[in-house]
Each structure stands twice: as structure tokens, then as C-alpha cells.
Amino acid sequence: MVDGLIYFEDLEVGSKTAFGRYEVTREEVLEFAAKYDPQPFHLSDEAAAQTHFGRISASGWHTCAMVMRMLVDNLTERKQAGLGSPGQDELRWHRPVYPGDVLRIETELLEKTRSRSRPEMGSMKSAIRVFNQDDQMVMSMTGIGLIRVRGD
């Protein structure tokens, strides 16, 4: 690690990280759902009680947004020389997320590849798993990130 940043060369395939703490509030669930995913089971106690959710649950897209916040906070804290992401693969919502849940993340670096066409950057794939306070996996995905190469 030079200049306090983590570069492509510093990444170790197989490395694991655990981080984050996000408290899900009813107000935020309702606000997000009203604006972006206004399905009744995200907005109404009565409607949610009539579904398999049993009560108001967060939109899966809201869960993604909460996860993104924890990911960015972690990258900023670790001072990674990140360059964004071309996307995510294999996104799955395993369990509902409810107001009162506390989310956290575990990652594992699966692979890294230096770009042939853009030698100043590399890409990395990570397994991203999101858990609630009861250690139940609520979401998983394969994250793809871009990162600066320190240089030869």
C-alpha cells in the first residue's frame, strides 16, 4: 500500500472482509417504497399482513441501496483506489428485510484481472453476502468492481 491507498496489486484472491451496520427504520422503508416501489406490502400494515411477508417489508431495491451505502462507506474507510463498477451478477433476495433489522456484509474476493485494453485498471469479482441481526442471509450477489493499478 503506497500513499495510503489500496490498489489492484494489494488485493489477495480469497481474502474475506466483514463490515457494516445498517439499522432499518420503518420511516425509511415507507419513504423509499412510496417513492420507488409503491407496492401495498411495502406501504400498508393491513396489505402486508395478507401476504407471505406478514408485515411491512423493505423493497429489495431498498435493501440494495442500504447495501450500497455500507459498501461505499467500507471502500472509503479502507481507502481503496476504486473506479466504480460495471455491474452486479446473480443478485438474490433470500429473506425479507423488515423495519428493526440490522444489516451487515461479508465479502470474499473471488478473482481479479488486469485489463488488457486499459492497463491502468483492473477488475475484481467478490461474493457479497448480507445478513440480518440473527445471522440469516437476506441478500447475496457477485460484485464486479474496477480499481486502479499502482503501475509497474
CA distances from 33 to 25, 64, 73, 96, 151 (A): 12, 13, 23, 14, 45
Residue 4 — pLDDT band, cuts 50, 70, 90?
A: confident
Residue 93: CB atoms within 10 A of its CB come to 19
Question: What average pLDDT does this structure show over 20-31?
Answer: 98
Question: What average pLDDT does this structure show over 119-127?
Answer: 96
Q: Where are the domains of the chain?
A: 8-148
For residue 78, pLDDT beyond 90: no
Mean pLDDT of the chain: 95
pTM as predicted: 0.93
Question: What average pLDDT does this structure show over 17-31?
Answer: 98
Write down the pLDDT at residue 151: 75
Question: What average pLDDT does this structure show over 41-65?
Answer: 97
Architecture of domain 8-148: Roll (3.10)
